[in-house]
């Protein structure tokens, strides 16, 4: 619960200082993770599903949400290949499900992925197969974003004259 | 910009009459079932400078002499959050939303680490302020009331809520006679003016109205805080006694 609220506070701060002002200025904001991360992670930690959604109801609904889906085995392999140690909370060690870091990660993140699958349906997330090649993923990402930018008429700069 | 509000979310129960002391107001904390814990939660509410801590101190002594185990908890006293809250208040970067969420985080920490374990172990928990302070302060600052009530749906409804009621005029007298007016207690962040006295009067007036509007909703036991310390304490003890006595009898048979 505390974990969930602490993240929400951080999110609210970033939303009000870093996300909303550029949106008002007509800019494109790229968010690396969003409220959906909290929905998946907090519910896995035992927080009420509806409560956490209501908590984040102050968040701006993204125009486009891309979900990079990857099987848990691929995720574990990638992380272990480039990092020596998995992070304590990322591995859900606080849950006490396993004393082994890798086992705990697999269990915890496995459940997080299940939650994401539900979010895909609930919030119409665009799923991108993140097990595929980087080039393929990037092409799909560009295609989806190009479509979005075209339909939502993102404003280019307001050419207001500079007054003396 | 559309909000991320859940579509067709059912209206929340909790704050609508079916409140039961010792149970969660709303959705609660699913991984912490609290039903039938032996402890009792008593909240003392009231605005800044109304005399809460004096009353709590006296109440504690009296309860301990009677043989009860007593634990105290107070607003923003969580070891995890207190430094952060002080820092944020000092640095002027808070807005009403982060303000509310910081308080909420502090409360969640104290609920999980202090209040619930104490209730489980059979203590009487005396809470110096409770969620109503958060609801009143945020309400005055224009935060959505339903959102706030949903947020605090994880809070436990106290068995007793005493609300120390006072009028602005008497409050001003008390505060000036003791420690003077402070920036936050005067609502100077609301920028209603440069004069701390005027700001205090307006802000506290609005706070008192918010508290008052919650009295029925959350079953406050309203106590007239303009009387002497002893008179107020007498009334609190009588009411606490009357509440504890029946449960005392059942535990002895």
Locate all alpha helices (DSSP H) within chain B, ordered by sequence. Answer: 52-65, 82-91, 96-110, 116-120, 131-140, 145-151, 168-177, 196-214, 229-252
For residue B136, pLDDT over 50 is answered with: yes
pLDDT band per the 50, 70, 90 thresholds, residue B177: confident
Residue B150: inside a domain, yes or no?
yes
Look at residue B13 in the predicted model and tell me its pLDDT.
Answer: 47
Q: Is residue B5 included in any domain, yes or no?
A: no
CB contact under 8 A, A58 and B27: no
Closest CA to B132 of B99, B162, B95: B162
B29, A47: Cβ pair inside 8 Å?
Answer: yes
d(Cα B58, Cα B81) in Å, to the nearest integer? 27
pLDDT score at A157:
53
Q: How many domains does chain B have?
A: 1
Per the domain annotation, does B173 fall within a domain?
A: yes
What's the gap in Å between the CA of B203 and the closest CA on chain A?
25
H or E segment at A137?
helix A134-152
Which residue of B5, B32, B101 is the best one to mutate when testing the A interface, meaning the one whose CB has the most A CBs within 10 A?
B101
Which domains are assigned to chain A? 1-62 (no CATH), 64-153 (3.40.50.300)
Domain membership of residue B21 (yes or no) is no
Quick check: B98 and A54 CB within 8 A? no
Instruction: Calculate how close chain B gets to A102, using CA atoms only, in Å.
Output: 24
Q: Is residue B182 part of a domain?
A: yes
* Three-state secondary-structure class, residue B98: helix
Nearest to A35 among B4, B102, B153 (CB): B4
Of B5, B30, B147, the CB nearest to A46: B30
Cβ of A51 within 8 Å of Cβ of B153? The answer is yes
Is B101 part of the contact surface with chain A (CB cutoff 8 Å)? yes
Checking B91-97 for CB contacts under 8 A at 24+ apart, the result is B93/A13, B94/B189, B95/A16, B96/B138, B96/B141, B96/B142, B96/B143, B97/A12, B97/A16, B97/A58, B97/B143
Residue B207 or residue B2, greater confidence: B207
Q: How far is A36 from chain B, CA to nearest CA, in Å? A: 10
Q: Quick one: how far is CA A46 from the chain centroid?
A: 19
Residue B140 lies in a domain: yes
Say yes or no to pLDDT of B138 above 80. yes
Please write the tens of the pLDDT for every residue from B122-131: 999 999 999 9
Does the distance separating the beta carbons of A53 and B6 come in below 8 Å? Answer: yes
pLDDT at B58: 97
| Residue B2 located in a structural domain | no
A20 neighbourhood in chain B, CB within 8 Å: 1
The residue-averaged pLDDT of A133-140 equals 93
Chain A environment of B98 (Cβ under 8 Å): 9, 12-13, 16
Q: Quick check: helix, strand or coil at residue A129?
A: strand
User: A60 - beta bridge partners?
Assistant: B3
Looking at residue A99, what DSSP letter applies? Answer: S
B45 bridge partner residues: B163
Region of residue B210 (phi > 0: left; psi between -120 and 50: alpha; otherwise: beta): alpha
Residues of chain A above pLDDT 70, percent: 91
Any chain A CB within 8 A of the CB of B21? no
- Shortest distance, CA A120 to any CA of chain B (angstroms): 14
CATH of the domain at B176: 3.40.50.300
pLDDT for res B92:
64
Residue B30 vs residues A1, B27, B41, B156: alpha-carbon distances, Å: 10, 8, 20, 13
Q: Which chain B residues have a beta carbon less than 8 Å from that of A6?
A: 105
Q: What is the pLDDT of residue B78?
A: 75
Q: Do A2 and B80 touch (CB under 8 A)?
A: yes
Domain with B220 in it: 40-231
Residues of A in contact with B95 (CB under 8 A): 16
What is the number of residues in chain A?
164
The nearest CA of chain B is from the CA of A2 a distance in Å of: 5
Set of chain B residues whose Cβ sits within 8 Å of the Cβ of A45: 31
**Range in B35-39, B95-99, B109-113 with the lowest mean pLDDT:** B95-99
Enumerate the residues of chain B whose CB falls inside 8 A of the CB of residue A48. 27-30, 153-154
Average pLDDT, integer, range B5-33 = 73
Angstroms from B241 CA to nearest CA on chain A: 34
ipTM comes to 0.72
Q: Which chain B positions have a beta carbon within 8 Å of A1's beta carbon?
A: 29, 108, 111-112, 154
Residue contact A57–B4, C-beta within 8 A: yes
Take residue B217 and report the two structure tokens written for it: 């909703």
- All residues of chain B having their beta carbon less than 8 Å from the beta carbon of residue A16 are 95, 97-98
Nearest CA in chain A to B1: A60
Is residue B14 in a domain? no
Judge whether residue B181 has pLDDT over 50. Answer: yes
Quote the strand ranges of A19-72, DSSP E.
66-69
């Amino acid at each position: 619960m505390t974990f969930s609220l602490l993240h929400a506070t951080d999110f609210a701060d970033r939303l009000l200082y870093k996300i909303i002002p550029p949106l008002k200025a007509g800019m494109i904001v790229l968010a690396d993770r969003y409220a959906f991360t909290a929905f998946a992670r907090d519910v896995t930690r035992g927080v009420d599903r509806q409560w956490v959604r209501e908590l984040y109801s102050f968040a701006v609904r993204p125009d486009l949400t891309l979900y990079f889906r990857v099987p848990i085995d691929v995720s574990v392999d990638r992380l272990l290949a480039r990092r020596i140690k998995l992070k304590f909370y990322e591995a859900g060690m606080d849950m006490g499900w396993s004393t082994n870091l890798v086992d705990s990660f697999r269990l915890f993140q496995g459940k997080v992925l299940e939650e994401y699958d539900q979010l895909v349906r609930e919030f119409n997330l665009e799923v991108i197969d993140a097990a595929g090649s980087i080039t393929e993923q990037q092409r799909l990402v560009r295609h989806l974003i190009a479509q979005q930018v075209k339909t939502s008429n993102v404003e280019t700069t307001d050419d207001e004259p500079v007054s003396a | 910009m559309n909000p991320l509000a859940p579509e067709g979310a059912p209206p929340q129960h909790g704050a609508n009459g079916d409140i039961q002391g010792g149970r969660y107001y709303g959705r609660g904390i699913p991984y912490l079932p609290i039903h039938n814990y032996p402890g009792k939660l008593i909240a003392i509410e009231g605005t800044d400078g109304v005399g809460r801590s004096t009353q709590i101190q006296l109440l504690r002594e009296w309860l301990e002499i009677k043989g009860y185990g007593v634990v105290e908890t107070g607003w923003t006293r969580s070891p995890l959050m207190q430094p952060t809250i002080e820092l944020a208040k000092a640095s002027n970067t808070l807005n009403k939303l982060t303000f509310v969420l910081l308080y909420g985080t502090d409360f969640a920490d104290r609920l999980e680490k202090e209040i619930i374990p104490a209730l489980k172990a059979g203590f009487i928990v005396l809470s110096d302020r409770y969620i109503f302070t958060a609801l009143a302060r945020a309400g005055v600052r224009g935060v959505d009331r339903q959102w706030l009530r949903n947020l605090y749906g994880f809070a436990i409804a106290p068995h007793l809520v005493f609300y120390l009621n006072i009028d602005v005029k008497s409050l001003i007298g008390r505060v000036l006679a003791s420690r003077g007016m402070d920036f936050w207690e005067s609502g100077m962040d609301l920028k209603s003016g440069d004069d701390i006295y005027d700001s205090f009067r307006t802000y506290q007036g609005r706070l008192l109205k918010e508290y008052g509007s919650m009295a029925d909703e959350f079953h406050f036991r309203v106590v007239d805080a303009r009387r002497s310390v002893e008179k107020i304490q007498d009334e609190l003890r009588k009411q606490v006694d009357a509440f504890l006595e029946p449960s005392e009898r059942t535990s002895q048979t």
